[in-house]
């Protein structure tokens, strides 16, 4: 059995170097290419003794922990426990921050003036590093500034251009085709994460570069592992000393607002789960003209547009909170546009997106999707009228059609179908087992004996084979 290679401090430096360069758009097939890279060697030699000691200590710690308890995937149990404790402490801090700010704003009647920042990120493909951590390669992101009094104030959206690494082309194409439909093979240069960092910082800080503590950003539970991948790339490209972006739970924020504003909201319930159920109703998923310029040109892609999703989150917040605060909602800010001139175009746009998403106009039952949409748009009075018309009965006399005079009561809808058939030939009575034993069709009925019906597994008789 070959001896296991010892990992020194330079090995861990190469991992950091590889991670930084890949976030800038450079790619490497293996660590051997990094080891032969002159830039990596120069940066290692330029490190101070204290900086090298950090990597050497990590190598010693890894060597000492080689015999420690690990999971089936090779992960350190002690490290996982430490990460779990850090995550729990972070969630406690987040909940305290949200509870205190909402309570303070409600006490001083400033809740409607509070600004919140929502963020959503789409990705091209995923990677798994040596520590079994999933890395999402960003494709687009969108951030909005939102308040209950003004609705959506500002919006920032970007589509990121990248170079797909070798081995990830198929995953990129498949994921893009089934979701956001953003092609990774865009014309032009790849996106500069340092430039994105500056734009992102200016948007959150409203241009105030002296701001040391930025307001937190809120995202859904499904995005809590995706959004940090975007933050890490922007911070690494900008050579920022620390992560200045706090990512909090959108569901817990919404649940806290629901609890504070609604007296009937259960205090003992899980506010985040109840809020998530409200957000997943997708009440505004078919709202037209809320997607970005790119997705407005690609049919069936607006459902996954990051700008469309954060806008739907804001509409859901307003739909629940604004009536409780007696805030008049403005079309396009708090809720979708409901102008009479746009109602027809909005419904047609919604039907077109639904047809593109389903991929076919007819389901397995043969009913067209357009018919389903028309049926769902009927009012209650129209449904009652249609049901009443369906219950109208017509008496049809079949004496002129058949010899037997029979009066049958059938729905009026079947009159035309019955008359079109004309005089029909009566059906032959089926030969049931009871008819066989009573002597019906006795000429063709075989005798129940061993020759005609041998036992299971027995050889066929000559008489039966002849027949």
Structure confidence at residue 6 (pLDDT): 60
Q: Across residues 412-420, what is the average pLDDT?
A: 40
Query: Which of 392 and 175 is assigned the larger pLDDT?
Result: 175
Q: Across residues 154-182, what is the average pLDDT?
A: 93
Residue that has been written with the tokens 């350190």 in this structure: 76
Q: Is the pTM of this model over 0.75?
A: no
Structure confidence at residue 141 (pLDDT): 97
pLDDT confidence bin for 467, thresholds 50/70/90: very low
The answer for residues whose C-beta is within 8 angstroms of residue 300's C-beta and 6 or more apart is 181, 353, 356, 357
Q: Which residues pair with 407 in a beta bridge?
A: 397
Query: Which of 45 and 366 is assigned the larger pLDDT?
Result: 45
| 34-38, 173-177, 184-188: range with lowest mean pLDDT | 184-188
| pLDDT, averaged across the chain | 77
Structure confidence at residue 399 (pLDDT): 54
Q: Across residues 389-413, what is the average pLDDT?
A: 48
Structure confidence at residue 344 (pLDDT): 38
Query: Which of 9 and 407 is assigned the larger pLDDT?
Result: 9
pLDDT confidence bin for 426, thresholds 50/70/90: very low
Q: Strand order of the sheet with strand 247-249?
A: 151-159, 134-147, 116-128, 217-219, 247-249
| 144-148, 377-381, 415-419: range with lowest mean pLDDT | 415-419
Structure confidence at residue 315 (pLDDT): 96
- Among 417, 381, 377, which residue's Cα sits nearest to residue 396? 417
The answer for residues whose C-beta is within 8 angstroms of residue 282's C-beta and 6 or more apart is 312
In eight-state DSSP terms, residue 151 is E
Question: Please, is 194 exposed, middle or buried when counting C-beta atoms within 10 Å of its C-beta (0-12, 13-18, 19+)?
Answer: middle
Q: Across residues 284-311, what is the average pLDDT?
A: 92
Per-residue pLDDT tens over the stretch 212-270: 788 999 999 999 999 999 999 999 898 876 778 999 999 999 999 999 999 888 888 78
Are 256 and 102 in contact by the 8 Å Cβ rule? The answer is yes
Per-residue pLDDT tens over the stretch 50-66: 888 888 887 777 666 55
Q: Quote the CA–CA distance of 80 and 93 in Å, as a whole number.
A: 20
Structure confidence at residue 437 (pLDDT): 41
Q: Across residues 292-311, what is the average pLDDT?
A: 93
The answer for residues whose C-beta is within 8 angstroms of residue 94's C-beta and 6 or more apart is 216, 246, 248, 249, 252
Structure confidence at residue 340 (pLDDT): 40
Structure confidence at residue 363 (pLDDT): 42
Residue that has been written with the tokens 């009575």 in this structure: 429
pLDDT confidence bin for 131, thresholds 50/70/90: low
Per-residue pLDDT tens over the stretch 145-154: 999 999 999 9
E strand segments, 148-282: 151-159, 217-219, 247-249
């Amino acid at each position: 059995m070959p001896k296991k290679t010892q990992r020194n401090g330079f090995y861990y430096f190469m991992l950091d170097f590889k991670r930084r360069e890949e976030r800038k758009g450079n790619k490497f097939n293996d660590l051997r290419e990094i080891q032969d890279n002159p830039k990596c060697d120069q940066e290692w030699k330029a490190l101070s003794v204290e900086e090298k000691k950090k990597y050497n200590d990590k190598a010693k710690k890894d060597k000492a922990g080689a015999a420690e308890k690990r999971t089936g995937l090779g992960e350190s149990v002690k490290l996982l426990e430490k990460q779990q404790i850090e995550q729990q402490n972070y969630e406690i801090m987040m909940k305290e921050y949200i509870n205190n700010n909402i309570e303070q704003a409600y006490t001083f009647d400033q809740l409607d003036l509070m600004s919140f920042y929502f963020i959503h990120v789409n990705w091209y493909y995923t990677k798994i590093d040596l520590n079994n951590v999933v890395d999402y390669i960003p494709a687009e992101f969108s951030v909005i500034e939102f308040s209950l009094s003004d609705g959506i104030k500002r919006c920032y959206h970007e589509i990121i251009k990248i170079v797909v690494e070798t081995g990830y082309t198929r995953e990129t194409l498949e994921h893009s085709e089934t979701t956001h439909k953003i092609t990774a093979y865009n014309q032009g240069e790849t996106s500069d994460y340092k430039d994105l960092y500056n734009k992102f910082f200016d948007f959150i800080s409203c241009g105030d570069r002296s701001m040391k503590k930025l307001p937190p950003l809120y995202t859904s539970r499904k995005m809590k592992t995706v959004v940090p991948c975007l933050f890490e790339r922007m911070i690494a490209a900008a050579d920022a000393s620390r992560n200045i972006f706090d990512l909090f739970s959108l569901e817990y924020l919404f649940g806290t607002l629901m609890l504070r504003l609604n007296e009937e909201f259960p205090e003992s319930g899980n506010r985040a789960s109840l809020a998530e159920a409200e957000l997943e109703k997708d009440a505004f998923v078919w709202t037209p003209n809320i997607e970005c310029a790119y997705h407005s040109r690609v049919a069936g892609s607006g459902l996954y547009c990051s700008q469309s999703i954060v806008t739907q989150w804001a509409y859901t917040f307003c739909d629940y909170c604004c009536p409780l605060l007696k805030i008049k909602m403005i079309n396009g800010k708090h809720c979708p546009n409901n102008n009479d001139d746009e109602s027809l175009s909005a419904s047609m746009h919604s039907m077109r997106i639904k047809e593109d998403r389903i991929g076919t106009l007819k389901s397995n039952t043969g009913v067209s999707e357009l018919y389903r949409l028309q049926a769902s748009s009927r009012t209650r009075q129209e449904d009652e009228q249609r049901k009443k018309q369906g219950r109208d009965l017509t008496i049809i006399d079949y004496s002129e059609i058949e010899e037997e005079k029979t009066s049958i009561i059938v729905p009026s809808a079947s009159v035309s179908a019955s008359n079109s058939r004309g005089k029909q030939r009566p059906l032959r009575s089926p030969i049931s087992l009871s008819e066989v034993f009573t002597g019906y069709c006795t000429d063709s009925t075989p005798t129940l004996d061993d020759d005609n019906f041998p036992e299971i597994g027995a050889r066929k008789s000559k008489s039966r084979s002849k027949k």
